[in-house]
Structure 1
């Protein structure tokens, strides 16, 4: 089977900069990932890893963005349909990043949300007396939007950008940019839709959070689900790459459940995944939940202004 590490013919480029200034950071076992998806979600992802013993994690030295390779590992529509069917909490209604972003919306503004799902955020911004439009490929989401008076269009951001140049006061996306391999072009198209002086807001998983940093095999943070591993540093780089000004970069505070999860992972790393670490976690997690430890939560939001 193919091992990416020893494939000397390939040229790997950063999905953000398009340059080959990248380094191989580590590798993950393909068989372990396949086994985890089957065990946790009853989803067969073996077809994505055909011919691979390992998958690679590279880091772009310019932007600090980390990403999985090969890019063919990205999930398709069927994968997300299967995942949503078995994981009922996959699409939550209101998120911490929604609350952070809605603060930047003013009355009368036009808002574009990319990958809007059923349009819960767009529904909420009506309270701000703003006009929202969403893009989503799911026909069920488009149909549901009509029942709620929300305009949701089945259209790519690339096509939308050619039709709506500098139309919006805000362009936003939540839990989307970690899935997109062609993220450089995706961001360019997003900014084409944005007025000068408009707000560009992105919410993504925070890979500095210990629940991800201490668990490289976190099932929903590996392919075919996630392809890009963002953090505050790589998000901040976007300002220099795309002539943006940083308004705010916020990391979600860690809640009690996240602190308990991070503590268990830390114990496993320190003591080993054994009865000692398990017992220690059971006996002391009540204290950890109440202490200001493992402060970084699972999401980071970056808000920019277009220059």
Structure 2
């Protein structure tokens, strides 16, 4: 049976990679997190590609994290929830004080707080009970409901619908875009920030733990976002890829990649270069190396 694309709902998909579930379980065990319950009846996880858009997604759709899983991540990983991302600053430059804004997956309200300080009329959607309580304590308006449900009762209401580090966790991409666009006014902006999977994090670190299920459902990059207007009533305003910032991790990934490719000579050579030297080199050329996040801005037709 063919697997339909989560973006287009067409059967124009193909298998990119098959990953033994034991490999994924082992990766998360290194972080002190047990994900066996998500994969116990799934011997192999497939990474598929939507051939219409290039979007890559994991299957089956039954293997993704629950609230307890995300609590484990927050407990075991220092800095899992990062505030003050570059994508937030990028969004603040785009959003006007006169805009009415909806943030999907607003968490405890960090970005909503920034908008409120800018005197923007804003509200959010969130499921996590503690995050909802934290947002309420800050005087923020956050609803415990799905985007799909909210859009039905707030059709054409918002100047901006935004989400940050959310879309990569969603399985039904078409429903997300349909609902977000429904909630926007004509000419309104849809602003999305996600991990960028075109550079080293996917090409050369294919088993990066947090890029695997049950954490991530799909892999986004600039090329995939460029195809979105072909399937939804939007035009592209901007697709911004952050420059490289994590030089130490980038360098480590290169070494590991060459080892996996049995190019041990190159790996050893890279290891001989002192960190201050490669750090200075990467800093000089960072604007030419894609970083970890991409921000896409679309305008509703």
Counterpart check, 1:101 vs 2:91:
yes
- TM-score normalised by structure 2 residue count: 0.92
Give the superposition deviation at 1:248: 0.7
TM-score computed with the length of structure 1 as normaliser:
0.91
Mapped partners of 2:150, 2:256: distance in 1: 47
Identify the residue that residue 172 of structure 2 maps to in structure 1. 182
**Separation of aligned partners in 1, 2:253 and 2:218:** 22
Q: Summarize the alignment of residues 159-170 of structure 1 with structure 2, pairs less than 5 Å apart.
A: 159-170=149-160
Instruction: Confirm whether residue 207 of structure 1 aligns to residue 221 of structure 2.
Output: no
Distance 2:183 2:101 in 1: 10
Q: Distance in 2 between matches of 1:196 and 1:231?
A: 26
2:280 alignment partner, SS class: coil
Q: Give the distance between the partners of 2:214 and 2:95, measured in 1 at CA.
A: 33
Q: Is the 8 A contact 1:214 1:266 kept in 2?
A: yes
Distance 1:44-1:275 versus aligned 2 partners, 3 A rule: farther
Using the alignment, how far apart are the partners of 1:149 and 1:32 within structure 2? 44
Offset from partner CA, 1:11-57 (integer Å, 9 cap, x none): 211111111101111122311210111111x1110121123332111
* 1:270 equivalenced with 2:258 (yes/no): yes
Given candidates 210, 230, 253, the residue that maps to 1:220 is 210
Determine which of 271, 296, 301 is the counterpart of 1:302: 296
Map of 2:13 onto structure 1: 22
CA RMSD of aligned residues (A): 1.8
8 A Cα contact 2:107 2:135, kept in partner: no
Given that residues 211 and 261 in structure 1 are in contact (C-alpha distance below 8 angstroms), is that contact kept between their aligned partners in structure 2? no
Post-superposition shift, 1:282?
Answer: 5.7
**Aligned-pair distance for 1:271?**
4.2
**Cα distance in 1, alignment partners of residues 105 and 248 from structure 2:** 31
Q: Distance in 1 between matches of 2:201 and 2:157?
A: 38
Q: Which moved more, 1:46-55 or 1:227-236?
A: 46-55
- How many angstroms apart in 2 are the aligned matches of 1:29 and 1:120? 37
Deviations 1:124-164 (A, max 9, x none): 01232211101000111111112211111111111101110
Structure 2 residue runs of 5 or longer lacking an equivalent are none
Q: Equivalent residues in 2 for 1:73-92 (5 A)? A: 73-92=63-82
Contact 1:199–1:306 at 8 Å: present in 2 too? yes
